[in-house]
Amino acid sequence: MPTTLFILNGPNLNLLGTREPEIYGTTTLAEIEAACIAKAREHGLRVDFRQTNHEGTLVDWLHEAHAGGAKAVIINAAAYTHTSIALLDAAKAITPPVIEVHLSDPQTRADFRHRSFIGQAADQCFKGKGLASYLEAIDAAAAL
């Protein structure tokens, strides 16, 4: 049985902690990674945690999760959530379940953020709870 969770993070999330803290909080991406690793360990799972500002890299990583037999992919596609058909197609093409996460709740923000392309391929979505969105996604992935 697969034991690796791919946790993929999109553009500008490398700036967490200082980027719009009134929306995203003050938790850094490194702190999110550490918490995700600890939570996954509770379930006997391993985490492959990554961040990129490049759409094609996220597509490649989705393919890698598929080829590598990941248990699930947890993805915060950030702004690409609302723009990327390429990520939608990649998420639909892979066999590991895809779980969408967001620190904030896009439905309470600007209208253009209400549409999620990645969400059209995701099995579940956790949003609006900051770090807890990631941790709940890990619990859900572990239960698969």
Residues carrying an active site annotation: 24, 102
Q: Which residues contact 77 (CB under 8 A, 6 or more apart)?
A: 8, 10, 58, 84, 87, 100, 118
